[in-house]
Amino acid sequence: MSDHRPAVEAADEADEAVDTDQNAPQDSGPEPATTRAVEPTDRAVAASRSAKLRTRRVLRRTLIALPVALGVLVAGSYTTTTLLDIPSPPTLVQLLTTEPSRQGDLFATRTIPASATPAPLPVHNEPLPATVPWKGERVPVEQFLTTTHTNAFLVLRNGRLTHEWYRNGVGPTTRLSSWSAAKSVVSLLAGQAIEQGRLREDDRLVDILPQLKTGGAYDAITVRDLLDMTSGVDVPENYNEYYPLTGTARMYLTRDLPAFAHDHRDLQFRPGSQGAYRSIDTELLGQVLAKAQGRSLADLLADNIWAPMGAQDSATWNLDRDNGHEKAYCCINATPRDYAKLGQLVLNNGRAQGKQIIPLAWIKRIATPAPHKVDGWGYSAQWWHPPGGNGKDYSALGVYGQYIYVDPVSRTVVVKLSDYGDQQDEQETFDALRTIAHSG
């Protein structure tokens, strides 16, 4: 889930709605679709953005905890959880007591082996600034880290590890969940597939996954729409307390992601007409990649990025079930230094160990905001462009405070992995990261 957002991104746009009968069986034939259009809202205004962020924080408080808590009550027996095709009651209970950073241990995984030629990060210690901005004040860096429940914090300048900090109980070899920062990794895999000619941004989703055809407006969704969060697929990031096992929370728990995608083909707005953060977009993109490449996402990551960039440690990717499908929208579990290497790979224009791993054209793609903002922020191919700063920085971002921040101007990468709970404070966090990036 997301990044924000893995689990919950409040998307309260209702600019255009499309009502289609798209949950019919595949052999039901085309169904008519109607479209209702409403004038879009200008959320570039700072006040609107602040209100939006506050709304997201409130909604995210219930993203996992409330649906799981209610799910335990509703799914009080193994029979019920089997019928719902979600984890058993003991696993649901464990989700309530396990830190978000370690919830990957509760689900099936596929392994991404360490590189056969690991490339340790060169170390060159440098001091951090004495203080960083935080909510209208200046606070010591360590206070910022502890206040935001940081587990690991790494700073790279010019490819050298200049600062490394861990909370008690966490170290360089501890695997921590990416949550929606995984979306940005899926983007890198998509860029490779496009460069290889196996995929095009103009390809229609249903031409690659024909089982999803509806005969309606859904069929117009393209790979570009999935990349830039403009598909309009109505699987909300927000949570309805009366229907706890719905939306992204249900997708997180389902044990059959292809079936979930097939059962959720209604649209909130016309594909390509606006942006709205939806984890389902990345999930669909992941299914497209696996089909186009004929391999699992974990295997693609292992062979096409992890090995050539010199990852020091093995990682895992959570699946919907044993030997199932990767949760493309979230849930890579990796060590902090290897997350830092991913950031450095992007900062180095896709190069690592003397090889062009990610196409330069794709680095330019993710570094340039797409036409439609997402929840009021710049966004491009699964990478965020937060407001402010020098206008050149961008970041992978995951709920509970996961950041792989890249600033090409200062040649800095910052990795922050956290268990910040229901208080995301993304804008304030980016302000602090920017101060650190430009303090050298």
In this model, does residue 373 exceed pLDDT 70?
yes
Report the percent of the chain where pLDDT is more than 90: 73
CB 436 within 8 A of CB 129: yes
In this model, does residue 89 exceed pLDDT 90?
no
Q: List, in order of start, the domains of the chain with CATH numbers.
A: 16-33+43-437 (3.40.710.10)
Residue type present at position 435: T
Q: Give me the torsion for CA of 210, 214, 220, 223, rounded to 10°.
A: -40
Of 397, 401, 395, 396, which is closest to residue 422 (Cα–Cα)? 401
In this model, does residue 5 exceed pLDDT 90?
no
Residue type present at position 127: P
In this model, does residue 4 exceed pLDDT 70?
no
pLDDT tens per residue across span 328-358: 999 999 999 999 999 999 999 999 999 999 9
Classified as helix, coil or strand, 233 is strand
- DSSP per position, 149-193: TEEEEEEEETTEEEEEEE-TT--TT--EE-TTHHHHHHHHHHHHH
Give the pLDDT score at 58.
43
Give the long-range contacts of residues 209-212, CB within 8 A, separation 24 or more. Answer: 209/261, 209/284, 209/287, 209/288, 209/291, 211/26, 211/258, 211/262, 212/261, 212/262, 212/265
pLDDT tens per residue across span 110-155: 999 999 999 999 999 999 999 999 999 999 999 999 999 999 999 9
In this model, does residue 244 exceed pLDDT 70?
no
pLDDT confidence tier of residue 79, bands split at 50, 70 and 90: low
Tell me, rounded to whole angstroms, the distance of Cα 92 from its chain centroid: 22
In this model, does residue 323 exceed pLDDT 60?
yes
- Which range is least confidently modeled, 28-37, 238-247, 275-284, 378-387? 28-37
pTM assigned to the model: 0.83
Between the alpha carbon of residue 322 and those of residues 1, 87, 318, the distances in Å are 19, 12, 9
pLDDT tens per residue across span 14-31: 343 344 444 333 433 433
With DSSP H G I counted as helix, E B as strand and the rest as coil, what are the percentages for the chain, rounded to 5?
A: 35, 20, 45
The Cα 225–Cα 221 span in angstroms is 6
